[in-house]
Amino acid sequence: ETGVTQSPTHLIKTRGQQVTLRCSSQSGHNTVSWYQQALGQGPQFIFQYYREEENGRGNFPPRFSGLQFPNYSSELNVNALELDDSALYLCASYRPNTEAFFGQGTRLTVV
Amino acid sequence: QQQVKQSPQSLIVQKGGISIINCAYENTAFDYFPWYQQFPGKGPALLIAIRPDVSEKKEGRFTISFNKSAKQFSLHIMDSQPGDSATYFCAARMDSSYKLIFGSGTRLLVRP
């Protein structure tokens, strides 16, 4: 049990739609990162938020956006979904100078 | 320069045997190297981690060996058990960032 909860666990969307994925972190975890894990691959860094500000971004287009809230929850939003966006989306949260705790992920299928 | 290369892609080991997974990196600014274990339908869970000022770290049946000059590190699982069957990822990070760069993963199957 990592204390990081993601919802929903599974989701099916149609190409072109928009999706919002949610993550609830432990109290005091003021940094959250989001990763995309395609089938059979390692997780790829999407972006990171610290104290509600984005402070790092991987090689993902602007249609991937996020929010972090004061209650240690966060969202990943993806607009104009493409078939290649089908993946497991992972949220990881941290206290300063501690390890990353990953949630169980949201499996997104785009059809 | 940001890549972490992991091998083998898959590994089959008999119960009680030693599982060895290797990783290599290019960016000498990386200064933290964790290994994660992932079961189907779950997120990655930290197994063990090392910093480059140490050549070896052991926790129970899991050992990381680190070769700074070769820019390589490896995970050894001693006395492998069927419950160890999972996908293992090496990763690297710069202390100035929480961003983890993951390897491509190794699917380990431990046969009874």
Q: Check whether the bond before B8 is cis (ω within 30° of 0).
A: yes
Query: Does residue A75 surpass a pLDDT of 90?
Result: yes
List Cβ neighbours of A40 (8 Å cut-off, separation of 6 or more): B105
pLDDT in tens, B44-60: 999 999 999 999 999 99
Task: Give the tens place of pLDDT for each residue, A40-65.
Answer: 899 999 999 998 999 899 999 999 99
Decide if A7 touches B, using CB distance below 8 A: no
pLDDT score, position A34: 97
| pLDDT at residue number B1 | 60
Q: Which residues of A touch B34 (CB under 8 A)?
A: 99
The minimum CA-CA distance between B102 and chain A, rounded to whole Å, is 6
**Mean pLDDT score of chain A, rounded to an integer?**
93
Digit-coded pLDDT (tens) for B46-102: 999 999 999 999 999 999 999 999 999 999 999 999 999 999 999 999 877 778 999
Does A100 touch chain B if contact means CB atoms closer than 8 Å?
yes
Tell whether the model's pLDDT for residue A105 goes beyond 90: yes
DSSP code of residue B68: T
Q: Which chain A residues have a beta carbon less than 8 Å from that of B92?
A: none
- What's CA B58's distance to the chain center, in Å? 13
Lowest model confidence (mean pLDDT) among A60-74, A93-107, B6-20: A93-107
Burial of B109 (0-12, 13-18, 19+ CB in 10 A): middle
Q: Residue window 32-61, chain A: list those with CB within 8 Å of chain B.
A: 33, 35, 40-45, 48, 56, 58
